[in-house]
Each structure stands twice: as structure tokens, then as C-alpha cells.
Amino acid sequence: LPAVFSRLGELEKGDDIYIKRKDGEILHFSVTKSDVYDFDSKPNEVFTEDYGKLIKLITCTGVWIQKYRTHDKRLVVSAILVDS
């Protein structure tokens, strides 16, 4: 089976993401951007954005580095909650 975020890179700005909460409520998010970072970088905007209600979906991408047993890049897709 493919990884849960195997197609994350296909999302584009304006695409919709729906998340079903445990209580059954469905949250609607709209993709605002996608960025790729080196696996060992610590970009502030990934963890410190504080405007609106947002989610960050993060997965590995790029080339496998055997020495570190990970890929050399991280794909970060940002999305903001759409008011209902």
C-alpha cells in the first residue's frame, strides 16, 4: 500500500482538504501554499505561523539518504480553515 501522504505533492493552491473529526464534524481547509525544505533545516514559518486556523501536512520527498535513513527533502503543504 502507498504511504498516506504519497500524493501530497499533487495538491495545489486553492485545492480543498476535508478532515472528519472524531465527533463527526467535517472541517474544510483550502491549500494556501506548498514548500520544499532540506530535511535538516528548521524553517521558522513551518512551526511559528500564527495567523488564522491552519494545518501543515508534512511528508518526506526527494532522494533517499542511506546514511541518515531518510529522504533529503520535506514537503510542507499549508492550508487555512474555510469559515462555514
β-strand pairing of 70-81 with 16-20 = unpaired
Q: Residue 59: which pLDDT band, with cuts at 50, 70 and 90?
A: very high
Q: Residue 84: which pLDDT band, with cuts at 50, 70 and 90?
A: low
Residue 55: name the closest of 7, 1, 11 by CA: 11
Per-residue pLDDT tens over the stretch 10-45: 999 999 999 999 999 999 999 999 999 999 988 887
End-to-end CA distance of the chain: 34
Question: Angle at the Cα of 69 (from 74 to 44), degrees rounded to 5?
Answer: 30
Average pLDDT of the residues in 60-73 = 93
- 16 close to 30: Cβ distance less than 8 angstroms: yes
Average pLDDT of the residues in 43-60 = 84
